[in-house]
Amino acid sequence: MMDASFFRRWLGIVMFGVLSGCSTVPGIVVQDPNTPQRGWAPDFLDPLLNSPEVDPSTMGNDGASDQIVPRIIPVTPDLLREQAARRQVLDDEVRGLISSQPPAAYRIGAQDILNVLVWDHPELSNPMGNFQDIQAMGRLVREDGTIFFPYAGVLRVEGKTVEEVRRELEALLTPYIQSPQVDVRVV
């Protein structure tokens, strides 16, 4: 009698062979080997390949070609130099689009929502409780460019950076809070 482990091993080897055969078959559709292959190339290679030549007489009613004859270009040192030159031109164009300057700091405007956090003072940071979403506990910049913050009063914030508002709030809270640590974010 065959034992179960021998049978399982034999079945596993047979299944491995059958499944590996699936990877060698060309897929569901088997084509005639005499039919020319249709390849694919990314769009950026199209100018280098000078586009496939299409015979208009083979065009169907839908405008699709029944047969595409690709143009074969031999890879030569001249072709490689031409490709490198095109790549360099593209690199220079991309570098021209990218500024070497760091982006300017965001300037606060009307209708922005500011999240102001005063460390160790939750009564100033989140007067609505712990379970509010960040926009609900934010401070809306009014049309006139101001916000109200407890102990600091009405502040003009429009046109200022987050860092400028943070420093101003720290200075205004210093008489009430010893060494206030303030964080300001635009939500």
Residue 2 belongs to a domain: no
Residue 12 has pLDDT above 70, yes or no: yes
pLDDT tens-digit readout, 106-156: 999 999 999 998 998 877 776 555 556 655 678 899 999 999 998 899 999
161 and 105 Cβ atoms separated by less than 8 Å? yes
CA 175 to chain centre: 46
d(CA 142, CA 169): 17
> Which uninterrupted H or E stretch holds 59?
none
Whether 178 and 124 share a structural domain: yes
Q: Round to the nearest angstrom and report the end-to-end CA distance of the chain.
A: 75
Residue 90 counted as domain residue: no
Helical (H) or strand (E) element with 153: strand 153-156
The percentage of the chain sitting over the pLDDT mark of 90, rounded to a whole number, equals: 30
Q: How many domains does the chain have?
A: 2
Question: 67 and 131: one domain?
Answer: no
CATH of the domain at 147: 3.30.1950.10
Residue 124 shares a structural domain with residue 181: yes
What value does the mean pLDDT take over residues 60-64? 54
Question: Rounded CA gap, 20 and 43, in Å?
Answer: 34
Confidence of residue 41 (pLDDT cuts 50, 70, 90): low
Tell me the residue range of the domain where 170 lies: 113-186
Give me the pLDDT at residue 42, please.
Answer: 53
Does a structural domain hold residue 25? no
> 72, 87, 121 — which closes off a domain?
72
Rounded (10°) CA dihedral 157, 160, 166, 167 = -110
User: Could you tell me if residue 79 is inside a domain?
Assistant: no
66 part of a folded domain: yes
d(CA 172, CA 156): 13
Report strand pairing: 53-54 vs 113-118. Answer: unpaired
Residue 54 lies in a domain: yes
pTM over 0.75: no
Tokens encoding 135: 């926009």
Give me the residues paired with residue 115 across strands. 185
| Pairwise pLDDT comparison (48 vs 95), residue with the higher score | 95
9: in domain: no
Q: Which residue has the higher pLDDT, 113 or 19?
A: 113
The answer to the question of residue 158 being in a domain is yes
Other CB atoms within 10 Å distance of the CB of residue 50: 10
